[in-house]
Structure formats: structure tokens, C-alpha cells
Amino acid sequence: MNNILKDILDDPHFSEGSAWKRRCFRHNEIIVEEGQDGGSLFYIEEGQLRVAGNIELEEHKHIQPGIWELEKGEIFGEIALYESQLRTASVRATSDGCLVEIDGEKLGIYLDAHPSLGYLFYKDLFEILIGRLSRANHRVNDLFAWGLKVHGIEQHL
């Protein structure tokens, strides 16, 4: 994905300032917040980020467990390639760093106009999403097994 994004960002037809912008961030800064409109895809150039959900335990009691750790070379916010939707999680910096914020609509138009590059981009994106889905499935299974143990259910199976 890194080489493909570099080629796209280096193309004068996909210009900085209108199609994408570079943003530096500080430790603990919120990059995106759950519930915000999401029309951008992000590429991490330097630094680390944590993806966190918002869970309501009881009335007025919330926790934000870390769902995922992101680092240099990774992307997030890819749902913006399909349509602008509300963000489903918050992303906070766990170090200082920089990222590239890419306008999802403009990237989609660019990829349509450059189908061979678009194919490679979506192929890599598909591999990234399959990897994330596989890791998420393992986490769900682990949590399910933990829940069974905590409630003593595995002894009755």
C-alpha cells in the first residue's frame, strides 16, 4: 500500500491542499472522534495511534477500550472511499507523529480515472481488511471463551 499511496500523492493531478493534506499530531491528540462525519482516509507517516470504541456500561458510565493499535505505514478511515459516514470509533495519538489526510471522494474519482492503479490500491486495501477481520474474529473468539470461563459455563459443556 505504501508504494501505491506514494505514487498517488506524488501525482500532480492529485494535488496537496485540495485532494490531501499533511497533519502533524502530538501525543494524546484526538485525530478523529466517534460520531464525527468521516469523509477522509488517513495514512500514518510517523507515530502511533490507538483506535478506541465508546461503550456505555450503565447510565452515564462510559469506557473507551483500545480496539486497535496503528503505526507508521498503516491506513484507517477507509470507509470514506464508499461514502461519507459517521466515524464508528475514535482515534487518539499515543505518540507524536504525522499523517496524511486524503479526501475520500477525490481519491475515489482519481482511482476511477486510473484503473490499473485503482486495481492495485483496492487489492491491497482488500488484503488489509481481510487481515483486520481475521484478527477481529480471533479477538471475539477469545472474549467469548473468557466469558464462558468467567461464568463457569465451560464446565457444563
What are the tens digits of pLDDT across the range 87-133? Answer: 888 999 999 999 999 999 999 999 999 999 999 999 999 999 999 88
Instruction: Give the CATH number for residue 23.
Output: 2.60.120.10
What confidence score (pLDDT) does residue 100 get? 98
Top-confidence residue, 68 or 65? 68
One-letter amino acid of 145: A
| pLDDT band (50, 70, 90) for residue 61 | low
In a domain, residue 37? The reply is yes
What pTM, to 2 d.p., does this model score?
Answer: 0.81
> Averaged over 58-67, what is the pLDDT?
65
In a domain, residue 151? The reply is no
